[in-house]
């Protein structure tokens, strides 16, 4: 895992070049994905905090553009990569980020002004505290980021709902927050999928009425039921829920 994550300006980061190599993607496509995030109208400032432009020299000693990305930036870019090999690399990166961040924290401890005796005592206490905190932090981070990575199109309804519930808790756990987040997700599905979920829901209920299905069952239908009828919309919905989970920091906190 050496080289997956580096320290830059006291922060654990990786690069677009490293991500492209690790996930067997073309570097230009990774660059494009990053710049689409940065240039997007919504939350552009937030995305910019995840990425920083840099330069590297290619095999012909020409200066080429790359991007540095912190843990949030990496997660945003890598969460769309699928397959067992992709999942393996995601977990390797997560571990590398954890190890580098732990190393940075250790370097930040300055006990040079203490007496030798107090330095020894402080060092012993700090080491014990760091080990316990690191263990808990690593467990929480890996568990929660793995939950987001694991969201796929197989058990997507239950897993997506669990993530949405956690997002709502981050927003205050109110009925208004629940409506807001679901409406925002569905609006984004409409935009990316080029559809109108409201229209599809109405049409689905009409077809069910023509088939003699009871009104109670028709009324219980939701936009998620409409999404489930279209594989493309399922993939879009899953991707959007992952993005919102990262945006609201669900993976940073314990479940």
Res 55 pLDDT > 60? yes
Question: What does the alpha-carbon distance between residue 181 and residue 169 come to, in Å, rounded to a whole number?
Answer: 11
- Given pLDDT bands bounded at 50, 70 and 90, which one contains residue 185? very high
Q: pLDDT, tens digit, for every residue of 74-103?
A: 877 887 777 666 777 777 777 777 777 776
Tokens of 219: 């009324």
Per-residue DSSP letter, 106: H
DSSP H/E element including 51: strand 51-57
First to last CA, the chain: 27
Question: What does the alpha-carbon distance between residue 104 and residue 112 come to, in Å, rounded to a whole number?
Answer: 17
> What's the alpha-carbon Rg for the chain, to the nearest Å?
22
**Longest distance between any two alpha carbons in the chain, whole Å:** 85
| Count of CB atoms situated within 10 Å of the CB of 22 | 20
Question: Over the range 58-96, which residues count as b (16 or more CB within 10 Å of their CB) and which as e?
Answer: eeeeeeeebbbbbbbbbbbbbbebeeeebbebbeebbbb
Question: What does the alpha-carbon distance between residue 136 and residue 165 come to, in Å, rounded to a whole number?
Answer: 23
Res 145 pLDDT > 50? no
Which range among 26-30, 143-147, 216-220 shows the weakest confidence by mean pLDDT?
A: 143-147
pLDDT of 138 reads 38
Question: What does the alpha-carbon distance between residue 252 and residue 144 come to, in Å, rounded to a whole number?
Answer: 7
Tokens of 47: 């995305």
pLDDT of 189 reads 93
């Amino acid at each position: 895992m050496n080289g997956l994550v580096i320290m830059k300006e006291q922060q654990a980061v990786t690069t677009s070049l490293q991500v492209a190599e690790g996930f067997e993607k073309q570097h230009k496509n990774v660059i494009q994905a990053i710049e689409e995030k940065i240039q997007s109208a919504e939350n552009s400032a937030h995305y910019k905090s995840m990425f920083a432009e840099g330069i590297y020299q290619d095999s012909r000693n020409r200066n080429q553009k790359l991007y540095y990305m912190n843990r949030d930036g990496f997660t945003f870019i890598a969460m769309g990569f699928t397959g067992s090999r992709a999942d393996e690399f995601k977990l390797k990166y997560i571990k590398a980020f954890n190890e580098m961040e732990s190393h940075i924290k250790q370097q930040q401890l300055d006990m040079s002004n203490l007496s030798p005796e107090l330095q020894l005592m402080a060092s012993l206490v700090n080491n014990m505290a760091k080990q316990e905190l690191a263990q808990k932090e690593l467990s929480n981070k890996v568990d929660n980021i793995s939950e987001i990575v694991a969201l796929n199109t197989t058990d997507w309804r239950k897993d997506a709902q669990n993530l949405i519930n956690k997002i709502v808790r981050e927003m205050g756990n109110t009925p208004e927050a629940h409506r807001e987040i679901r409406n925002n997700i569905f609006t984004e599905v409409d935009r990316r999928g080029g559809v109108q979920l409201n229209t599809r829901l109405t049409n689905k209920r009409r077809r069910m009425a023509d088939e003699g299905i009871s009104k109670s069952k028709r009324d219980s239908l939701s936009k998620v039921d409409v999404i489930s009828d279209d594989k493309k919309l399922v993939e879009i919905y899953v991707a959007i829920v992952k993005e919102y989970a990262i945006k609201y920091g669900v993976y940073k906190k314990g479940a």
